Structure 1
Amino acid sequence: MNIKILSRNSKLYSTKRLVEAAEKRKHNVQIIDPLKCDLIIEKRSPNVYYKGDYIQETDAIIPRIGASVTFYGTAVVRQFEMMGAFSTIDSEALVRSRDKLRSLQVLTRAKIGLPKTVFTNYSRDVEGVIQHVGGTPLVIKLLEGTQGLGVVLAETRNAAKSVIEAFNGLQARVIVQEFIKEAKGADIRVFVVDGHVVGAMKRQGKEGEFRSNLHQGGSAEVIELSDEEEIAAIKAAKAMRLGVAGVDLLQSSRGPLILEVNSSPGLEGIEKATGKDIARKIIQYIEKNV
């Protein structure tokens, strides 16, 4: 089988592991930088022109599209889909997952537990926004933030008002969420492939840090999910129509609460924490569908 991995950096852990897993199962693999692709759009034979050649005979693609290149990266994924290639991440699902507000609305419609969240059009009623999420402490997130960047914990009402008003003044879109105190600065990353949980880890923020992202210095350990947590993660990935997803959830007194569903989850943290070959599961998912 001919598999293309859409990645801008062949040296990234996730990219290298996917190449290893595919070659181990006797597939032909090529890494393609999506930003260097020219898209030939025509009725009879849509194609992709890359480094002086037309790309031929692509059975499947694995998109590893960074948030900063979502627009063009998704266009490349869509082009391969038009050419008949199977994609581990559907182009429309990729777009949907990158819109944090839309994602939350999709998850709400699927009756999935979420932290109380408020989004406004730069409302001047900051006091009302704070009240809607149950008061302080609360979390303020930039809609375009990734890997824990653009996330602020406001512990007092004055701090919350100052941060929200500052973002409003800059016309930066933010969502305001309730702070789940009982989570104690930890969240759970659940890796879902083809509707099945293939690995889960608990990420704990470093001392004095409420963000648990590994990019922010957090630590990770393997965790056994409860039935409720496993069902919530699978349901969230299904609602977002993602065949491969990293579902982030919090443990709360009212059950698991979904924070985010990631369409390009990294493999390094989950594989090292669980000792599982997640890359192999992704290649097997392709084999099942091609």
Structure 2
Amino acid sequence: MNIVILSRNPNLYSTRRLIEEGENRGHLVEVIDPLKCDIIIEKEKPTIYYKDRYLDYVDAIIPRIGASVTFYGCAVVRQFEMMNVFTICTSDAIQRSRDKLRSLQRLSKAGIGMPKTVFTNYSRDVEEVIEHVGGVPVIIKLLEGTQGLGVVLAETKNAAESVLEAFNGLEARVIVQEFIKEAKGADIRALIVDGQVVGAMKRQGKEGEFRSNLHRGGSANIIKLNAEELKLAMNASRALKLPVCGVDMLQSARGPLLLEVNSTPGLEGIERATHKNIARAIITFIERNKN
């Protein structure tokens, strides 16, 4: 099988592992920068031109598209879909997951538990927004933030007002969420492949840090999910139509609460914490769907 990984950096751990496992299973694996693809649209013959050739030989793609190139990256994925190439995540599903507000609305409709969340259109009535989520402290998140960037903990009403006013002044759209104190700076990442949990880790933020992202110095250990956590992770994957994704959740006094769903989860942290071969699981998922 000819498998293409859509990635701007072939040296990233996740990309290298997918190449390694694909080649171990006898496939031809190629890394292609989606921003260097030309999308050719014509009647009944959609094609993609890359460097010196047409990509008309591809059997399956693995999108590893960064948040900063979502628009063009998803256009390339969509073009492959028009060419009847299998993708582990559709362009529509990637775009849904990248829109925090849209994805939370869909997940709420699906009955999935999450921290109380408020979105407002540059409201000046900050006090009312804070009350909607149960008072301070609150978490304030940029809708476009990734890897813990654009996430602020406001411990007092004055701090929340200052942060919201600053974001409003920049015309940056944000959501306000209740702070789950009992989570103690930790969250859970469940890795889903083919709609099933194939690995899970508990990430703990470094001392004094409420964000648990590994990129920000957090640590990770393997964890066995309970029945509620398994159900939440698989339901979230199903609700956003993402058969391969990372589901982040908090442990709270009222059960697991969903934080977000990542359509291009990194493999390094989860493979090292769980000692499970997640990359191979993704390749075998492709094999099951192409054969």
Alignment of 1:82-101 (within 5 A): 82-101=82-101
Corresponding residue of 1:130: 130
After TM superposition, give the deviation of residue 161 of structure 1 in Å.
1.1
State how 1:210-225 maps to structure 2 within 5 Å. Answer: 210-225=210-225
Deviation at 1:162, TM superposition (A): 1.1
How many Å apart are 1:45 and its aligned residue?
Answer: 1.4
Q: CA deviation at 1:151?
A: 0.3
Aligned residues between the structures: 290
| Identity percentage of aligned residues | 72
Letter in 1 for 2:251: Q
Cα deviation, residue 56, structure 1:
2.2
- Return the alpha-carbon distance in structure 1 between the equivalents of residues 30 and 56 of structure 2: 12
Aligned to 1:27: 27
Amino acid at match of 1:177: Q
Shift of residue 52, structure 1, vs aligned partner: 1.4
Offset of residue 17 of structure 1: 0.2
Letter in 2 for 1:158: N
In the alignment, structure 1 residue 2 sits paired with structure 2 residue 2: yes
TM-score, scaled relative to structure 2: 0.99
Q: Does 1:42 align with 2:42?
A: yes
Whole-Å separation in 2 of the counterparts to 1:44 and 1:90: 20
- The whole-number CA distance in structure 2 between the counterparts of 1:281 and 1:76 is 24
Match of 1:159 in 2: 159
Check if 1:196 corresponds to 2:196. Answer: yes
Taking the aligned partners of 1:257 and 1:43, their CA distance within structure 2 comes to 47
How much has 1:211 moved relative to structure 2?
0.2
TM-score (norm 1): 0.99
Amino acid at match of 1:52: D
2:186 is the counterpart of 1:186: yes
Q: CA separation in 1, counterparts of 2:254 and 2:43?
A: 52
Q: Residue 223 of structure 1: CA displacement? A: 0.4
Structure 2 partner of 1:65? 65
Matched, 1:106 2:83: no
SS of residue paired to 1:42? coil
Match of 1:232 in 2: 232
Residue 258 of structure 1 corresponds to which residue in structure 2? 258
Which residue identity is paired with 1:215?
H
Moved over 4 A (4+): none
Structure 2 distance, partners of 1:95, 1:178, is 25
Shift of 1:166: 1.4
Q: Which residue of 2 aligns with 1:16?
A: 16
Aligned-partner Cα distance in 1 for 2:232–2:62: 25
Instruction: Output one character per residue of 1:61-117: Cα deviation in whole Å (capped at 9) or x when no partner.
Output: 000000000000000000011111000011100110000000100100100001000
| 1:270 pairs with 2:270 | yes
How far apart are the structure 2 equivalents of 1:71 and 1:170? 22
In the alignment, the residues of structure 1 paired with residue 81 and residue 174 of structure 2 have an alpha-carbon distance, to the nearest angstrom, of: 33
Distance 1:43 1:237 in 2: 34
Cα distance between partner residues in 1 of 2:246 and 2:18: 16
Report the CA distance between 1:216 and its aligned residue: 0.7
Name the SS for the 2:92 alignment partner: helix
Aligned-pair distance for 1:32?
0.4
Residue 191 of structure 1 aligns to a residue in which SS?
strand
String of CA shifts for 1:16-63, please: whole Å, max 9, x gaps. 000001001101111100000000111221111001111122110000
Whole-Å separation in 2 of the counterparts to 1:177 and 1:56 = 46
Let me know the Cα RMSD of the aligned residues.
0.6
Helix, strand or coil at the partner of 2:192: strand
* SS of the residue 2:189 aligns to: strand
Measured in 2, the distance between the counterparts of 1:190 and 1:171 equals 33
Equivalent residue number for residue 280 of structure 1: 280
Q: Deviations over 1:231-290 (max 9, x none)?
A: 100000110000101000000001100000000000000000000000000001101111
Cα distance in 1 for residues equivalent to 2:237 and 2:43: 33
Q: Which blocks of at least 5 consecutive residues in structure 1 are unaligned? A: none
